[in-house]
Chain A
Amino acid sequence: MNIKALIYWIIVAIPLGWGLKLSIEKAKPLFAGALSAPAKPAAAPADAPKK
């Protein structure tokens, strides 16, 4: 990769990085305990064989 190609990559990486950063921030609650809601027992699958 030459210097010109590297500059092209940097130019497209700026908006990509911005969008990625915002999405990760948006997804943070998932990693910060928002998912610690009590797990519910899964319902029996609709087509599960009857015992």
Chain B
Amino acid sequence: MGFLDRDNTTADSGYSRWGFPPAAIAVQMCIGEIYGFSVFNVPLTRALGITKSLPEDWTIPMVGWFYSLGLIMLGLSAAVFGKWVERSGPRKTMIASMLCFCGGLWISALGIYLHNYWVVLFGYGFVGGIGLGLGYIAPVSTLIKWFPDKPGMATGFAIMGFGSGALIGAPLGNLLMGYFKTETSVGVGESWLVMGGIYAVFMSFGALIARVPAAGWKPAGWNPPAAATNLMITQSHVSADEAIKTPQFWLLWIVLCMNVSAGIGILGQASLMSQDMFGVSAAAAGAFVGLISISNMLGRFFWSSMSDLTGRKGIYIIYFVLGIVLYAAIPYLTNVTLFVAVVCVIITMYGGGFATIPAYLRDMFGTFQVGAIHGRLITAWSAAAVIGPYTLNRISTDLKAAGVPKELAYNRVMYICVGMLVVGLIANFLVRPVAQKHLYRGELPGSAPAPAPQPAAARA
């Protein structure tokens, strides 16, 4: 398997660093398919009844667990395998991700054929979820090494790719289900078989073109900024095991968790809010969801690239302060177009928060094990995936069920989101450079001193 090893993927002198972002995007836009999972919800509840659900069919909450377990496994596998990913390099990790993610889809297709709930849960949620975690962190540290001068933009490319997954996965799923649907099948299993094949080709393409920079490589004409010029960008390194002992790691964990929780709070409510508060039609609300997906994707690249100019701490101050203003303004909006615009801006910052965090980690902990540290920080996303839907959405549902007018129920949720953003803002303010005692003192991989030149006689 030497072809896949990190050592055998070192770029030669003719390789352009601009060749690596497409590798990252190819993998991320495939695994980002999970964001488009909702198109399978209803068909999966009719796997036996076809035109309507039978008592033996799965329910929506049961089906929801395929998606939820996938996201839980994303966080866990990114945290557990982070150091292996650093050692193995992007190509081997991308192939492992492809085998798990596509293998998960194929196992799930078998589960649907057998109508065995646990096989689908194991395939899509467990095995596929591991593929998500591996693929999500696979390109991060390599991108940062290729673009030390623009780390925010570089990671923005990759994380934007993940955000675009729904834009491709959802229509592809609908297209294939429409093609495979028969009187005896809703077409989900067949669609997953084909999607697994298409994604396997694309992810393999990404792995094939992935290259790591040679030790000591830096962009032509670029020199690392002197340590004294910006204390918030370290020139040192911190190992993944040491990073989690620092307050900076946990402050950034809170920053990500709060930003994502508040974002999920509005993601889960926006479409319903537009209908309940402004009387928007269901069709327009569906269009609104499409616009939200585009905002989520574009925000990842835009804001993360901006962070190269503003600094990472500065961009999170913008996310939180602007977010607080916009969330607090929503209850007062009377114009639906303005409401849509405000929600879209909020969602761009939700995506931006995801995309900027790897560069923030690089600034704090250096490049040595930034992928592994990122993997561990992703647990904040898993926590937010619980806090967001199961608290905010629950509060809104419970208030409405208790007879509170819909508008007031939504307003309460918006104010809770504001509170979350205030917590995130405070955590971000508290981030300071890492203390010297945490810095890595060992030899960095790939930076070992070159062997001393041997005498001519010995060379012969």
A35:B340 contact, CB within 8 angstroms? yes
B29:A15 contact, CB within 8 angstroms? yes
B16:A27 contact, CB within 8 angstroms? no
Given A22-B167, A35-B336, A12 contacting B26 (CB threshold 8 A): yes
A30:B340 contact, CB within 8 angstroms? yes
A43:B167 contact, CB within 8 angstroms? no
Interface magnitude class on chain A = 20 to 34
A19:B334 contact, CB within 8 angstroms? no
Tell me which residues from 6 to 48 in chain A have a Cβ below 8 Å from any Cβ of chain B: 8-9, 11-12, 15-16, 18-20, 22-24, 26-30, 34-35, 37-43, 45-47
Residue-wise, chain B 10-29 has the 8 Å CB interface mask toward A (1 for contact) of: 00001010110111011001
* Complex CA–CA separation, A28 to B281 (angstroms): 14
* Complex CA–CA separation, A47 to B331 (angstroms): 10
Residue of A nearest to B175 (CB): A22
Segment touching A, from B46-54, B86-94, B102-110, B407-415: B407-415
Tell which of B294, B335, B411 touches A24, judged by Cβ atoms closer than 8 Å.
Answer: B294
Residue-wise, chain B 407-431 has the 8 Å CB interface mask toward A (1 for contact) of: 1110110010000000000000000
Given A29-B283, A43-B408, A8 contacting B334 (CB threshold 8 A): no
A42:B280 contact, CB within 8 angstroms? no
| Chain A residues closer than 8 Å to B287, beta-carbon distance | 26-30, 34
Tell me which residues from 137 to 168 in chain B have a Cβ below 8 Å from any Cβ of chain A: 161, 164, 167-168
Given A5-B22, A35-B280, A42-B334, A19 contacting B411 (CB threshold 8 A): no
| Chain A residues closer than 8 Å to B277, beta-carbon distance | 40, 42-43
Tell which of B23, B283, B333, B409 touches A34, judged by Cβ atoms closer than 8 Å.
Answer: B283
| Chain A residues closer than 8 Å to B279, beta-carbon distance | 37-38, 40
| Chain B residues closer than 8 Å to A18, beta-carbon distance | 168, 171
Residue of A nearest to B407 (CB): A43
B405:A43 contact, CB within 8 angstroms? yes
Indicate whether B62 reaches chain A with its CB closer than 8 angstroms.
no
* Complex CA–CA separation, A49 to B237 (angstroms): 51
| Chain A residues closer than 8 Å to B209, beta-carbon distance | 8
| Chain A residues closer than 8 Å to B185, beta-carbon distance | none
Indicate whether B337 reaches chain A with its CB closer than 8 angstroms.
yes
- Give residues in A with beta carbon < 8 Å to B: 1-2, 4-5, 8-9, 11-12, 15-16, 18-20, 22-24, 26-30, 34-35, 37-43, 45-47
The 8 closest A-B pairs by CB, nearest first: A19-B167, A43-B407, A34-B284, A26-B290, A5-B19, A8-B22, A19-B168, A45-B331
- Give residues in B with beta carbon < 8 Å to A: 14, 16, 18-19, 21-23, 25-26, 29, 161, 164, 167-168, 171, 202, 205, 209, 277-281, 283-284, 286-288, 290-291, 293-294, 297, 331-337, 340, 405, 407-409, 411-412, 415
